[in-house]
Structure 1
């Protein structure tokens, strides 16, 4: 059924795993696996295109921490090994909830045998855990799992892999997810991921989910991505014929099962009906894209096809209002699909800064659409300020350098090209003072 020879897989083995019978009606009428997930759930899969940006005052307050609370950016960095950027990002998410008491969450996890390394993984993958009530939400779930016979090692391993388990409200859902993840881990330890090693009752809903998950594992989908599928709002692995057909389409498009794009594509295809897909392709064609363009862009960024009609049209109108032509809009999206998902405010600010303040042409922006994904405060402005300073001193001539070597290169490459190469130590220090302050915000 599945055309997977191109992936170099053994056809007989694949037929064994991919010609599965999807005979179990999975978890019907149960809220934890709603058959109609919200379209807004797509946002949970998208990776941030531009880096998070926090106001300097917010970061300052985060670093200071709350009175009597040792949980600070510095604490995350020195005790749990986070980078400063990651720690500040997590702190920003946590700080929106004034009632949060992160210290109590960390203490609770440690009291149940979680190591700092496991806690670091948990917080990185599920920052929201830090704003949950340790006594009313987390402790009861941990106690419930222990009551089911979970050993300390089993508990810490499974929660580390799928920390969302602790954020669930109902014990029935907590127990079900725990069993699924435990079975997946056990199956992964068996040779060839054989179902027989699980001893699952035939025809149960649990067997259906495990069969789907193991089919994906057999294709080469990493365990970490399987867990994200299991606990996502899409409920892809809960499907039957729909799962089978969606998987067939995604594999046929040539997505690499070992990548997150494969999982994103599977979620998008699973959620969209053929009619909705045709309507979305038709809309893009009206904006100037060919059908081939749409599917090529989808391969680069699967969430491109999941955008709502309103978001697509608003994005198009924003670029046109800024002076870009229809063809230029199509060109930018083809080279950098994430452009079409950015807010109008972000696109306007970045375009106006680059064109009006820095005097780069619209054509230069069209040739480098990735600039829309860079943080204005953390990347674009500090680098451009260095360029302005050099030009004011007559060290770059009268013309702006090309946009790409200024913004598209790494920090190290930029500093080597425009800052460190100068022999004047005072000049280098001055340029670094222009560049560095923005990096901590």
Structure 2
């Protein structure tokens, strides 16, 4: 390998020389900015590169081409340091594939001082409740964690996130949902932006746990534009649904447009859609299939107008098979028995089980046992004695 590299270097310089019009290139003048190459230095560099490439191929699972590419970022002439780095990762349960991915994304990690720069960060995350499998996943997906300062960046950022979530294990889980949140320079400014806007602490906790990707915007301009758009639509930053509205607008515009088109196919207007979104932004986070099935059931099976559904948009978030269909069956019986005049009781679908049994199943005392049986059959559950019947 060494002979091959030196041969390539020689041929390269020979090509340069033979293509140069003036032979004076061979002997640079004192005033020339060019200097003859230091072959001793070049030779040492080539030796290190050769060793590095071989090491990456034999010990880290690299293909020769990718190993050569990685060697542009890191060079070493002995196995001691990279061996100790790999051994450290293995001691924390990293698989060979995970170690390969870490090195592929950040080759310079092999030149780190493992006990001084890597170990404290791994121990910190473990101390905060990360399991070894979670730790390996975090580092594999975001090796930048190993480059950030523990004292100046990782600890303050983790603690800041945990101040909202108030659970170190849940904070770790949130970081796993968007691994860049722990290293992105925009995380803290974006949180402060939302807090200054009036977003409540409980809403920030929900955002960090469910949609932490919103906080790793590298562009403050785009986040501000989404905030402005949501506020102009009528969603109040002080309301609990504000962060859901932000996330709905954060998703690709094509997804938003597709759902708007679906709502309009039921005869709903832009105002209907906007009002539903302001009340319950989750109506724009449900899949097209879920929205279509839910509105279709209320319209075709129960005779509702589409606007009656979007006037109560929380209905679109309820489970069709386990909540809406069983309760609709009970409501139909109550109508047929003349117990209630209309099935348009939106609250019947989102009140608690206890409240539903009290207000509707037990409402028709003569048929309450039959209603209970029907209800459980629709839910594919065994019929059983229920204290809710009392």
Which category describes the TM-score, using the shorter chain as reference length?
0.5 to 0.7
1:387 Cα deviation after fit: 1.5
State which structure, 1 or 2, has the greater radius of gyration over its C-alpha atoms: 2
Q: 1:387 aligns with which of 331, 334, 356?
A: 331
1:150-161, aligned counterparts within 5 Å? none
1:169-184, aligned counterparts within 5 Å? 169-171=97-99, 178-184=122-128
Q: Given the superposition, is the C-alpha separation of residues 328 and 220 from structure 1 closer, same or farther in structure 2, using an over 3 Å criterion?
A: closer
1:35-54, aligned counterparts within 5 Å? none
User: What is the number of equivalent residue pairs in this alignment?
Assistant: 259
Bigger relative contact order (CA 8 A; separation at least 6): 1
Name 1:245's counterpart in structure 2: 189
Name 1:324's counterpart in structure 2: 268
Q: Given the superposition, is the C-alpha separation of residues 179 and 438 from structure 1 closer, same or farther in structure 2, using an over 3 Å criterion?
A: farther
Q: Given the superposition, is the C-alpha separation of residues 231 and 348 from structure 1 closer, same or farther in structure 2, using an over 3 Å criterion?
A: closer
Q: Given the superposition, is the C-alpha separation of residues 345 and 184 from structure 1 closer, same or farther in structure 2, using an over 3 Å criterion?
A: closer
Name 1:260's counterpart in structure 2: 205
Q: CA RMSD in A?
A: 3.7
Q: Given the superposition, is the C-alpha separation of residues 184 and 315 from structure 1 closer, same or farther in structure 2, using an over 3 Å criterion?
A: same
- Work out whether 1:431 is the aligned partner of 2:368: no
1:384 Cα deviation after fit: 0.9
Q: TM-score, normalised by structure 2?
A: 0.56
1:303-382, aligned counterparts within 5 Å? 303-382=247-326
1:316 Cα deviation after fit: 0.8
SS of equivalent to 1:423: coil
Q: Given the superposition, is the C-alpha separation of residues 362 and 204 from structure 1 closer, same or farther in structure 2, using an over 3 Å criterion?
A: closer
Name 1:227's counterpart in structure 2: 172
User: In 2, distance between residues paired with 1:367 and 1:291?
Assistant: 16
Is the CA contact (8 Å cut-off) linking 1:217 and 1:223 kept in structure 2? yes
Is the CA contact (8 Å cut-off) linking 2:259 and 2:284 kept in structure 1? yes
1:221 Cα deviation after fit: 4.1
Deviations 1:265-286 (A, max 9, x none): 653032362343366568x68x
User: In 2, distance between residues paired with 1:331 and 1:213?
Assistant: 37
Segment of structure 1 superposing worse, 259-268 or 402-411: 259-268
Name 1:409's counterpart in structure 2: 351
Q: Given the superposition, is the C-alpha separation of residues 168 and 370 from structure 1 closer, same or farther in structure 2, using an over 3 Å criterion?
A: farther
User: In 2, distance between residues paired with 1:218 and 1:414?
Assistant: 38
User: In 2, distance between residues paired with 1:249 and 1:167?
Assistant: 39
Q: Given the superposition, is the C-alpha separation of residues 147 and 374 from structure 1 closer, same or farther in structure 2, using an over 3 Å criterion?
A: same
Query: Unaligned 5+ residue runs, structure 2?
Result: 1-86, 103-117, 131-146, 382-390
Is the CA contact (8 Å cut-off) linking 1:386 and 1:434 kept in structure 2? yes
Name 2:216's counterpart in structure 1: 270
User: In 1, distance between residues paired with 2:285 and 2:96?
Assistant: 30
Is the CA contact (8 Å cut-off) linking 2:233 and 2:278 kept in structure 1? no
Q: Given the superposition, is the C-alpha separation of residues 350 and 185 from structure 1 closer, same or farther in structure 2, using an over 3 Å criterion?
A: closer
SS of equivalent to 1:170: helix
1:220 Cα deviation after fit: 6.6
Query: Unaligned 5+ residue runs, structure 1?
Result: 1-142, 149-164, 187-202
1:320 Cα deviation after fit: 0.9
- Work out whether 1:205 is the aligned partner of 2:205: no
Deviations 1:37-71 (A, max 9, x none): xxxxxxxxxxxxxxxxxxxxxxxxxxxxxxxxxxx
Is the CA contact (8 Å cut-off) linking 1:360 and 1:403 kept in structure 2? no
Deviations 1:393-426 (A, max 9, x none): 3333xx31432232121122112222224332xx
Q: Given the superposition, is the C-alpha separation of residues 251 and 167 from structure 1 closer, same or farther in structure 2, using an over 3 Å criterion?
A: farther
SS of equivalent to 1:304: helix
Q: Given the superposition, is the C-alpha separation of residues 381 and 321 from structure 1 closer, same or farther in structure 2, using an over 3 Å criterion?
A: same
User: In 2, distance between residues paired with 1:336 and 1:387?
Assistant: 24
Deviations 1:276-322 (A, max 9, x none): 3366568x68xxx8255385653455422321101111111111111
